[in-house]
Amino acid sequence: MLTAAGCGGGSLAGSPPPPPPPTDPDGRADLLLSQMTLDEKLQLVHGNLTTENGVGPRNSAGWVVGVPRLGIPDLLYADGSVGVGDTVGPATALPSSLASAASWDLDEAYKYGQVIGKELSAYGVNVNFGGNVNLSGREPRDGRTFETKGEDPILAGKITAAHLRAIQDHYVIAGVKHFAMNDQETARTQANAVIDERSARESDLLAFEIALKDSKAQSVMCAYDLMNGTFACGNSHLLTDILKGDFAFPGFVLSDAFATPSSVPAALAGLDQEQTGDYMFGGIWSSESLKAAIQNGDMPASQLDNMVHRILRAMYAAGVFDHPASVQPIDATGDAAIAQEAEEQGAVLLQNAGPQLPLNASNLKSVAVIGSHADVGVLSGGGSAQVFPVGGAALTLPPACPPYTPPPGGLACLNALQIFDPSSPLAAIRAKAPDANVVFNDGTDPTSAAALAASSDVAIVFESQWESEGMDLVDLTFANGQDAIVSAVAASNPHTIVVLESGGPQLMPWLANVSAVLEAWYPGQKGGDAIANVLFGSVNPSGKLPISFPASIADLPRPTIPIPDPPDSTAPFDVDYTVEGFNVGYKWFDAKGIQPLFPFGFGLSYTTFSISNLQLSPDAPVTNGFQVTFNLQNNGSVAGAEVAQVYLGFPAGTGEPPKRLVGWQKVLLQSGARQQVTITVDATDSSHPLSIWSTTSNGWVTPNGDYTVYVGNSSASRSLVTAGTFHVGS
């Protein structure tokens, strides 16, 4: 029979022209799929270690072999939460993701993601294991807090989405992880997160939903832990009902490294690709066992087709086929500038009595700089997110794993190193105050640190706390007696400034005795310069906490981190998240009437702002959402940015926390300037701002009753004013 192709591409008189080739990702994926053999399909669902069988393209975190016959490229995977990770190559060390969230600025977050996307692509990587959107506020001691975006699902989801959009705009498949409830590292492969459906939907799962819907990221990494008794990577409720069903996620699910709990059951539950290798949990899943299952009828071939379809459509949707990554040098200079800007936008000024800051170099004759190796660099977080910085580490120290770090979770900590990025705060401070005598003390001896401080105009103490994947902090106290150093310095100099380099919240027993505190997080490749710019007022701080700082660990939902029982047991053990449910972070403190040390959303500036003329205009019908309009005024003598935050109180009897963040806007105002600001809260937004999860209707509903809208510059009630109320229902 003659085909259209056989006629040189023309059509036979009377016969319909051949359909044009599909141009949409699904159609293109199906066309390719129809040409693949069973073995080729199996090849795409199996992740290799890059060194597996002695071969592998280059250093990375994973590798899926392509099908050259059909033009399907290899997939090369690398971590990239805070810059390109693994040993892919020297990369720009960004400040921690939590610092990016502290900017509360989606444009700034997009730039942060661009650095990751550009550099992954320059290293030839086309899939990113990034996007950690676990809600660290549930367990602020979590050793991966620095990789997350904090405690609020909306802020975390939106910031993550901005990162992922930027990454995928560089034709690298972006992803979110670790789906879901991987909120502690301790014994993470055995931890069974126990949580009810509504709480999960309104907290951790909501962060994932927003991140995915707002970014269209094409991959989801399922987690090591169990959720309600079933391993996340074999959990059909999570992967199929919620992710692929309710969230309508069209991309593919890949397992965390070695986290595949089974073969056919996991595939049927919704896992599309195993990463990495075959041997976790007994090596049950492998392409060989899937092949046998298909051949003997234990798994329908259509299941494998769907898995492969999802992978291919993700590759098309992200541009992997059309824009193959080409290896080239990274733009280290340009990316370092973005790293510095991200830190300057994310550093949070927590205290400024006096005001002590900004420092005026012309008034300074002597400055003491103390502690945390501030003479050479700034600390970074450990584990798979670790970036090996451009220029090489300034200092590398052995890991400081806490006592409970049994393998396999603890392995990640034991393999980690404490890496200091090459950006010396001491040098940057010297450059800011060239006429002052700036002297460094290593901060290991309180007496000598205090003596130096006593003879200096100001003392700047750097306190740091290392954390890493594969461990949790035992408490939130700075290690190695650093608090005693701060106290000794503060006792000898009333102008003591503390700069914190931490993955997340820490306790500050010396707070009342120091004049200023700057939370610099893990500050990244240009952290020293960014910190000095803030201290000397070249940058006016505008970061706001994306996570509450508790006053005591006794105030947390779980005063101690759950461990297996007995501790050396390898059996699953419960981590009871029903204690706080969806009341994560500030919602917990609000609901319990507990005063945190510093509230979610808090951060000072070198100027002050005021809000006036508040007006609330509910849309018609009111269930569509509302707008809050107000005047924001900069009352000070320097330009600065304020983050106006909108919180919503739900009707009594709904069981919701006293207030939920539903919107915000970061506004830059010149000295004395006033601007009218409108913040729109759209009920149809991916964050479901006017809804609660109903287990009765298995969906989001807007309850009837009275709602109260608050506006202010932190979640603390004292910093909020009521914009008005509205009523839903008859």
Positions in the binding site for ligand BGC (CB under 6 A): 61, 79, 129, 177, 256-257, 384, 412, 469
**Of 10 and 407, CB closest to ligand BGC:** 407
Nearest approach in angstroms of CB 132 to ligand BGC is 7
Nearest approach in angstroms of CB 340 to ligand BGC is 26
**Of 103 and 384, CB closest to ligand BGC:** 384
The residues, any chain, with a CB within 8 Å of residue 55's CB and separated by 6 or more, are none
**Of 27 and 406, CB closest to ligand BGC:** 406
**Of 64 and 257, CB closest to ligand BGC:** 257
Nearest approach in angstroms of CB 630 to ligand BGC is 41
Nearest approach in angstroms of CB 337 to ligand BGC is 27
Cα separation, 37 vs 335, whole angstroms: 43
- Nearest Cα neighbor of 258 from 286, 288, 244, 278 is 278
Burial class (CB in 10 A: 0-12, 13-18, 19+), 703: middle
**Of 406 and 724, CB closest to ligand BGC:** 406
Nearest approach in angstroms of CB 79 to ligand BGC is 5
Cα separation, 460 vs 342, whole angstroms: 22
Is 116 within 8 Å of 163 (Cβ atoms)? yes
Nearest approach in angstroms of CB 257 to ligand BGC is 4
Burial class (CB in 10 A: 0-12, 13-18, 19+), 9: exposed
The residues, any chain, with a CB within 8 Å of residue 665's CB and separated by 6 or more, are 643, 644, 677, 679
Cα separation, 30 vs 110, whole angstroms: 32
- Annotate 51-76 with DSSP letters as a single string: TGGG--SSSSSEEE--BGGGTBPPEE
For 532, 562, 677, the CA distances from 668, given in Å and listed in that order, are 21, 43, 11
Nearest approach in angstroms of CB 412 to ligand BGC is 5
Nearest approach in angstroms of CB 137 to ligand BGC is 19
**What sign results for the dihedral spanned by CA atoms 267, 273, 274, 278?**
positive
Helix (H, G, I), strand (E, B) or coil at 416: coil
Find residue 576's DSSP bridge partners.
194
Nearest approach in angstroms of CB 172 to ligand BGC is 14
- Annotate 641-665 with DSSP letters as a single string: EEEEEEEEEPPTTS---S-EEEEEE
Residue 395 φ/ψ region, left for φ over 0, alpha for ψ in the -120 to 50 degree band, beta for the rest: beta
**Of 234 and 603, CB closest to ligand BGC:** 234
**Of 56 and 651, CB closest to ligand BGC:** 56
**Of 469 and 519, CB closest to ligand BGC:** 469
Strand 640-649 versus strand 660-669 pairing type? antiparallel
Cα separation, 309 vs 29, whole angstroms: 6
**Of 261 and 581, CB closest to ligand BGC:** 261
**Of 188 and 544, CB closest to ligand BGC:** 188
Cα separation, 119 vs 113, whole angstroms: 10
Nearest approach in angstroms of CB 471 to ligand BGC is 12
Nearest approach in angstroms of CB 82 to ligand BGC is 12
For 387, 508, 522, 523, 528, the CA distances from 382, given in Å and listed in that order, are 8, 23, 11, 14, 19
Nearest approach in angstroms of CB 76 to ligand BGC is 13
Nearest approach in angstroms of CB 409 to ligand BGC is 9
Residue 83 φ/ψ region, left for φ over 0, alpha for ψ in the -120 to 50 degree band, beta for the rest: left
Is 546 within 8 Å of 149 (Cβ atoms)? yes
Nearest approach in angstroms of CB 728 to ligand BGC is 41
For the chain, how big is the Rg over CA atoms in Å?
26
**Of 227 and 374, CB closest to ligand BGC:** 227
**Of 257 and 641, CB closest to ligand BGC:** 257
**Of 412 and 692, CB closest to ligand BGC:** 412
Is 475 within 8 Å of 514 (Cβ atoms)? no
Helix (H, G, I), strand (E, B) or coil at 366: strand
The residues, any chain, with a CB within 8 Å of residue 698's CB and separated by 6 or more, are none
Measure CA 83 to chain center: 12
**Of 105 and 469, CB closest to ligand BGC:** 469
**Of 78 and 561, CB closest to ligand BGC:** 78
- Nearest Cα neighbor of 180 from 167, 170, 195, 168 is 195
Nearest approach in angstroms of CB 469 to ligand BGC is 6
**Of 384 and 418, CB closest to ligand BGC:** 384
Cα separation, 355 vs 351, whole angstroms: 9
Nearest approach in angstroms of CB 61 to ligand BGC is 4
Burial class (CB in 10 A: 0-12, 13-18, 19+), 74: middle
Helices 332-346, 527-535: inter-axial angle, 10-degree rounding: 40
